Amino acid sequence: MKEKDCVRVFAPATSANFICGYDILGLALEDPGDEITLRKVDSPGIKITKITGDLGLLPLDPEKNTVSASIKMVLDHLRIKNIGLEIELFKKMPIGSGLGSSAASTIAGLFAINQLLGAPLTKQELLPFALKGEELACGHGHADNVAPSLLGGITLIHSYSPLHVINLPVPKKLCCSIIFPHVEVPTRAARKILKTQTELKNAVSQWGNIAGLVTGLFTEDYNLISSSLKDYIIEPTRSFLIPEFEEMRNIAIKSGALGFGISGSGPSVVAFTQGIEKAKEITKMLKQHLGKKSIESNGYSSAINTQGAVEL
């Protein structure tokens, strides 16, 4: 691929750790996500010229901004100096939502600079930089959001040393409804609440469900996917941090969701469905329910994005 003067890329939001997939599974959404435009300019240095969207905690200082930090990693690796770059960032999802907000920014940055330079690295080769980016942004180099945002689909983090990420098959009709209630559950606090020990019998049930879920994805068996989407380990500890969790579960399951649980480290929740119409219906009902309890929320209904980061 040839070098370019300007690229515009999209990196999708993600749901990691979903339901029974704590620390190993993640998936990419069609929408929302981060868009950036990256442009070569004559004067050396990285400049953020524009940020639109959720600016909440976004540092405008290029030294601290996730996107420019990611771009610098790739430039350092390729020993490229004195390049001039301008970034426009369109942040299309809320920060701290459990939708992999920082991961999408990291991936957008990495993917954009790689495309601008003519794709010297493969997507798989960009992954280690993404982990570093997550470590800078969240204090923990997890791959559960960056991997699906970069690669798309449903990703299995098989191991960290060596880093080994596998794309699982995506059943055609699998969709999800994601609700982000406007209450704060920072990732670090949600991690702290987890016990370091777990009951062996619960762990066995969990890995039975993970094996069932992976089998269901391969065989496109929605009943098996549904009966596997249960979390015996994380949900019992974390779900009480999320308002109306049990009520939302009841609504989703009664309305025909395949499964319901925590997305990321919360407070977002995810319901899986067969078909986008069902996802939209559930998103609407869950938002309405939270509304009645005076809890504002964002709601998303999406198929699984199988492309990951793309040039627009």
221 contacts 215 by C-beta, under 8 angstroms = yes
Closest separation in Å from C-beta 284 to a second copy: 32
95 marked among binding-site residues: yes
Q: State the amino acid at position 212 in one-letter form.
A: G
What are φ and ψ of residue 160, in 5° steps? -100, -30
Which residues sit at the interface with a second copy, rule CB under 8 A?
22-25, 156-159, 164, 166, 168, 194-201, 203-215, 218, 224, 227-228, 233
Rounded CA separation 64/105 (Å) = 12
Beta partners for 85? 40, 46
Rounded CA separation 269/54 (Å) = 20
99 marked among binding-site residues: yes
101 marked among binding-site residues: yes
Candidates 187, 235, 273, 281; catalytic one: 187
Judge whether 63 counts as a catalytic residue. Answer: no
Closest separation in Å from C-beta 233 to a second copy: 7
103 marked among binding-site residues: yes
102 marked among binding-site residues: yes
Output 36 or 156, the one with its CB closest to a second copy: 156
Question: Nearest-5° angle of CA 179, CA 180, CA 183?
Answer: 140
Output 96 or 259, the one with its CB closest to a second copy: 259
Note the residue count of the chain. 312
Output 112 or 234, the one with its CB closest to a second copy: 234
159 contacts 174 by C-beta, under 8 angstroms = no
Closest separation in Å from C-beta 71 to a second copy: 31
Output 43 or 196, the one with its CB closest to a second copy: 196
Closest separation in Å from C-beta 218 to a second copy: 5
Closest separation in Å from C-beta 84 to a second copy: 42
18 contacts 154 by C-beta, under 8 angstroms = no
Angle separating helix axes 101-116 and 66-77, nearest 10 degrees: 40
Output 198 or 255, the one with its CB closest to a second copy: 198
Rounded CA separation 245/260 (Å) = 10
List all residues 6 or more positions away from 282 whose beta carbon is below 8 Å from its beta carbon.
177, 251, 252, 255, 256, 257, 271, 273, 301
Judge whether 237 counts as a catalytic residue. Answer: no
98 marked among binding-site residues: yes
What does the block give as tokens for 211?
Answer: 């094996």
Candidates 30, 35, 106, 134; catalytic one: 134
Q: Give binding residues for ATP as ranges.
A: 94-104
Just list the catalytic residues: 134, 187
Q: Give binding residues as ranges.
A: 94-104
